Amino acid sequence: MAQVDSISGFMTNLLEQFNFVDVPMNKPLPTWRNRKVGEAALGRRLDRFLMKGPLLQHLHHYKKWVGSGGGISNHSPIYLEVLGPHSKPKAPFKFNHVWL
């Protein structure tokens, strides 16, 4: 019998309450790998890219993908690219797109 995780249930309810959704991915790939080979290799989609539901509906086209993992981390980054006509919102600070 599976054990109920109260923290997981709490987080799921909280995300639903505030209308956050996981942005769908074109090709679901694992975001975490255990860096083993052969039978011991394991990969899971642990990371999510959450966005408010109404904002997601206003995006014309977007592309989300999992980048290639490298370096010492066993996590792979998730990227979101917004395509099509959209205007840059005014921000009280400078933001460099390279930071993404």
pLDDT digits (tens, 9 = 90+) for 25-40: 878 888 888 888 899 9
What's the pLDDT at 29?
A: 86
Cα–Cα distance between 1 and 51 in angstroms, integer?
Answer: 33
What's the pLDDT at 4?
A: 64
What's the pLDDT at 70?
A: 65
Q: Between vectors from CA 96 to CA 98 and to CA 67, what angle results, nearest 5°?
A: 25
What's the pLDDT at 2?
A: 58
Cα–Cα distance between 60 and 83 in angstroms, integer?
Answer: 7
**Rg from Cα positions in the chain:** 17
What's the pLDDT at 33?
A: 87
Judge if pTM exceeds 0.85.
no
- CB contact set of 48 (below 8 Å; sequence gap of 6+): 22, 78
What's the pLDDT at 17?
A: 93
Give the H/E segment covering residue 50: strand 50-52
Question: Within the chain, which residues score under 50 in pLDDT?
Answer: none
